[in-house]
Structure 1
Amino acid sequence: MCLYNIHTHKAGREEINGYKVQYILNTSPGDFEEEILTPDNIRFSCGIHPWDADNAGERLARLNEIAQDKSVLAIGEAGLDKLKGPDMKVQEQVFRRQIELAMNISKPLIIHCVKAWDILIALQKEYKSDIPWIIHGYRGNVEQTKQLVQFGFKFSVGEFFNEGGIRHIPLDSLFCETDMSEVSICKIYETVSSVLDLPFNQFVGIVADNMGFYSK
Structure 2
Amino acid sequence: MIDSHAHLDFAEFDSDRKQLFDSMKQAGIETAVIPGVSPAHWDQQLAIAKEYVCPFGLGIHPWFCDEEITVSLAELKLKLEKYQFDPKLVAIGECGLDKLRNKNWQAQIVSLEAQLTMAKQLELPVILHVVKAHNEMLSILRKHALPKAGVIHGFYGSVEIANEYIKLGFKLGIGGLILNHNTQKLKNCVAHLPLDSFLIETDSPAMTPSNSAETRNTPLILQSIIVEIANLQKKSSVLISEHAFRNVVQLFDLKLKLI
The two structures have a TM-score, normalised by structure 2, of: 0.75
- Write out per-residue CA displacement over residues 165-214 of structure 1, whole angstroms, 9 at most, x where no aligned residue: 11333221210111023252222222222222222222222122212212
Partner residue of 1:200? 237
1:171 to 195, 198, 207: 195
Distance 1:67 1:205 in 2: 32
- Residue 130 of structure 1 aligns with an amino acid whose one-letter code is P
Give the 3-state SS of the residue equivalent to 1:30 in structure 2: helix
Give the 3-state SS of the residue equivalent to 2:100 in structure 1: coil
List, as ranges, runs of 4+ consecutive aligned residues in structure 1 with deviation greater than 6 Å. Answer: none
Distance 2:192 2:147 in 1: 21
More strand by share: 1
How many residues get paired? 214
Which one is further off, 143-152 or 99-108? Answer: 143-152
Question: Contact 2:172 / 2:197 at 8 angstroms: preserved in 1?
Answer: yes
Distance 2:141 2:133 in 1: 13
Partner residue of 1:214? 254
1:62 to 75, 96, 99: 75
Distance 2:45 2:61 in 1: 17
- Write out per-residue CA displacement over residues 12-53 of structure 1, whole angstroms, 9 at most, x where no aligned residue: 434355514210112233222223233454221221111221
Please say if 1:13 is aligned against 2:21.
yes
Give the 3-state SS of the residue equivalent to 1:26 in structure 2: coil
Please say if 1:135 is aligned against 2:152.
yes
Deviation of 1:133 (Å): 2.7
The two structures have a TM-score, normalised by structure 1, of: 0.88
Please say if 1:126 is aligned against 2:143.
yes
Question: Contact 1:51 / 1:84 at 8 angstroms: preserved in 2?
Answer: yes
Return 5+ residue gaps in structure 1 as ranges.
none
Return 5+ residue gaps in structure 2 as ranges.
10-19, 179-185, 209-216
Query: Identity rate of aligned residues, in percent?
Result: 25
Bigger Rg, which one:
2
Give the 3-state SS of the residue equivalent to 2:32 in structure 1: strand
Distance 2:21 2:188 in 1: 31
2:41 to 13, 31, 39: 31
Counterparts of 1:140-155 in structure 2, within 5 Å, are 140-155=157-172
Partner residue of 1:117? 134
Give the 3-state SS of the residue equivalent to 1:112 in structure 2: strand
Distance 2:41 2:137 in 1: 27
